């Protein structure tokens, strides 16, 4: 086990970063938690509402080398979770250059700043199963040595982050761990199909919308609760081997269509639905089933939250947020 005192999270105000900060503060209260947010970011700090006074935020843009250099010099973290990125797959087809520049150069700046300052933190680069792209069924469940074959600009940027991490480990001896997270249920990230569906269910229940719209329902996903996912990130920095890459994912294999059917079952009223062509991607990854044996062997970790509890957690969040929005406008 590695002992940390100063935790630094890039993307702390985002959907995953905020849940990670909550996990660390709630389970490791002796830690000092720092994070960065960009002055022009549209991400709401409301994600940190429950722990805002327990974290220290710095205005910093990873695309500005001097900015991250100054911030790291102040914090001197002993563990870094690199979550910051433009992560919307569908949008990456519309603004590919912005996604590539932000995700790749931001990561390069972070690595170079650490090297320039001669810091020695454990650094987890949080990558994604999207790097595998459309996998040949013979390689399913997907192991870490499965060929990388990205199918969208976002995935290309994550491949670059992943390989930059490995290069800096090999070249400069940095304590870098790479994780590839498979699909998760995350109430704070509205571009995920599960969250979009839950939000629409809540709106239809309220009588504001009449029909739920969706994209491709045939994609197969293996889902995990975001709270389990963030615990896995923490455990990775504690136990995983530097220079290695680890798949992280859940146990529930389900199609997008089956997930929608389940949400309809939990809804308080009938939920009509139809496909929206605008939600179909130019290229879609339709088979994402992980082999997480390597991670389990290294850490002993396993998901704790049941799939049913996670779905209810998602729906409850969507309903609360809708009610909260009404109160603000009333």
Confidence grade of residue 168 (pLDDT, cut at 50, 70, 90): very high
> pTM of the predicted model, to two decimals?
0.94
Question: What pLDDT, on a 0 to 100 scale, did the predictor assign at position 324?
Answer: 83
Could you give the C-alpha distances from 56 to 3, 26, 71, 193, in angstroms and in order? 20, 16, 12, 32
Question: Are the CB atoms for 119 and 174 separated by under 8 Å?
Answer: no
> How high does pLDDT run on average in the chain?
94
Encode pLDDT of 249-299 as tens digits. Answer: 999 999 999 999 999 999 999 999 999 998 888 877 778 899 999 999 999
Confidence label for 45 from pLDDT (cuts 50, 70 and 90): low
**Rounded to 10 degrees, what is the CA torsion of 319, 253, 149, 232?**
70
Please list the residues that pair with 56 across neighbouring strands: 34
Residue from 107, 126, 74 nearest 234 by CA: 126
pLDDT at 282: 83
Quote the tokens at residue 301. 């970790």
User: Domains in the chain, ordered, with CATH?
Assistant: 6-185+225-248 (3.40.50.720), 193-221+252-329 (3.90.25.10)
Residue 225's closest CA among 23, 11, 80? Answer: 23
pLDDT at residue 119 is higher than 80: yes
With a pLDDT cut of 70, the percent of the chain lying above it is 96
- Residue 41, pLDDT above cutoff 60: no
- Taking the CA atoms of 42, 47, 49 and 55 in sequence, report the sign of the dihedral they define: negative
């Amino acid at each position: 086990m590695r002992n940390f005192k100063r935790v630094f999270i890039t993307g702390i105000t985002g959907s995953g970063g905020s849940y990670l900060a909550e996990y660390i503060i709630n389970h490791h209260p002796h830690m000092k938690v720092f994070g960065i947010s960009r002055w022009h970011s549209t991400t709401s700090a409301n994600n940190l509402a429950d722990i805002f006074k327990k974290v220290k935020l710095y205005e910093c843009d990873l695309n500005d080398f001097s900015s991250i250099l100054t911030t790291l010099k102040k914090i001197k973290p002993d563990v870094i979770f690199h979550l910051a990125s433009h992560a919307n797959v569908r949008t990456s087809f519309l603004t590919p250059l912005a996604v590539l520049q932000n995700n790749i150069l931001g990561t390069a700046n972070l690595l170079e700043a650490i090297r320039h300052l001669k810091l020695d933190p454990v650094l987890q680069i949080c990558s994604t199963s999207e790097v595998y792209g459309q996998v040949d069924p013979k390689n399913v469940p997907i192991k870490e040595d499965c060929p990388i074959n990205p199918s969208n600009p976002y995935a290309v940027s994550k491949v670059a982050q992943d390989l930059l991490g490995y290069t800096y480990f090999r070249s400069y001896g940095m304590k870098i761990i790479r994780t590839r997270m498979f699909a998760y249920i995350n109430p704070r990230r509205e571009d995920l199909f599960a969250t979009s569906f839950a939000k629409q269910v809540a709106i239809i229940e309220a009588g504001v919308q009449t029909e739920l719209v969706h994209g491709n329902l045939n994609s197969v996903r293996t889902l995990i609760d975001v709270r389990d996912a963030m615990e896995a990130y923490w455990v990775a920095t504690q136990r995983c081997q530097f220079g290695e890459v680890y798949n992280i994912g859940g146990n529930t294999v389900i199609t997008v269509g089956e997930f929608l059917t389940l949400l309809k079952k939990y809804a308080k009223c009938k939920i009509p639905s139809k496909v929206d062509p605008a939600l179909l991607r130019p290229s879609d990854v339709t088979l994402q089933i992980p082999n997480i044996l390597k991670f389990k062997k290294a850490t002993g970790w396993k998901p704790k939250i049941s799939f049913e509890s996670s779905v209810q957690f998602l729906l409850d969040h969507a309903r609360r947020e809708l009610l909260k929005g009404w109160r603000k406008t009333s």
